[in-house]
Amino acid sequence: MKKLLIASTSTVYGSGYLEYLQPALTSFFKGITIVLFIPYARPGGISYEAYTKKVKEAFASIDIEVQGIHEFKNPKRAVQEAQAIFTGGGNTFELVHQLYANDLLVDLKEVIENGTPYLGTSAGSNICGVSMMNTNDMPVVYPPSFVTLGLIPFNINAHYLDPIQGSTHMGETRETRIQEFHFYNETPVVGLREGSWLEVMGSKIILKGNLTARLFQKGTHPIEIESGSVV
């Protein structure tokens, strides 16, 4: 049975890295002693080593060891044998590029569908959707495909922002960008606001956190999903 936490972000305003998710992670990773971390999204160009160190410090507070996938000679075997997996945020284009370059996408999908617990934040959440086409990131590299894990039947727009009332900003809103996507594509999109996450248990997907999420479907008006609701 699939078991995922798909979070909009790793850090909310006023808290430390993964701190707001700690209660959920304690329950989610119960019985897990080691988590395999995939640092490929490397936010700001941070090194794999530095990124993994940051994650190790966060997981130490819930008594779980972290190993970076770059520490293994055989990353495919690391994924296949992992107790649990965490893919962090950063640049989704680079993340997907590296997953294809290391031939990990199929293995990652297979182990998660077979029950390996998976945590994703930001870019690590984007890849859970049908494609990565609703990322907010700059295309710094060109992956072989935008097709991702397809573990949920929609795409994620992480860090979803609502228009600011009275703002003089003349650029496109997130809603406008998603409307552009739906001119060419049918896939539904869920806009996850900061501090929100999806809990996936098998085929059941529930919105968690204090805020609503915004569901976009082609040809219809967006709707708000209440926290605690099935998506």
Strand, coil or helix: what is 4? strand
Q: Please, which residues have CB within 8 angstroms of residue 31's CB and are 6 or more apart in sequence?
A: none
> What is the rounded CA–CA span in Å between residue 53 and residue 203?
33
> What is the rounded CA–CA span in Å between residue 225 and residue 231?
7
Kindly write down the DSSP assignment for every residue of 37-90, as one continuous string: EE-TT-GGG--HHHHHHHHHHHHHTTT-EEEEGGG-S-HHHHHHH-S-EEE--S
Give catalytic residue positions. 122, 137, 159
* Strands ordered across the beta sheet of 189-191: 155-157, 189-191, 213-216, 223-225
Q: Please, which residues have CB within 8 angstroms of residue 176's CB and are 6 or more apart in sequence?
A: none
Could you identify the residue written with the tokens 């700001």?
Answer: 44
Strands 65-68 and 34-38: parallel
Rounded to a whole number of angstroms, the CA Rg of the chain reads 17
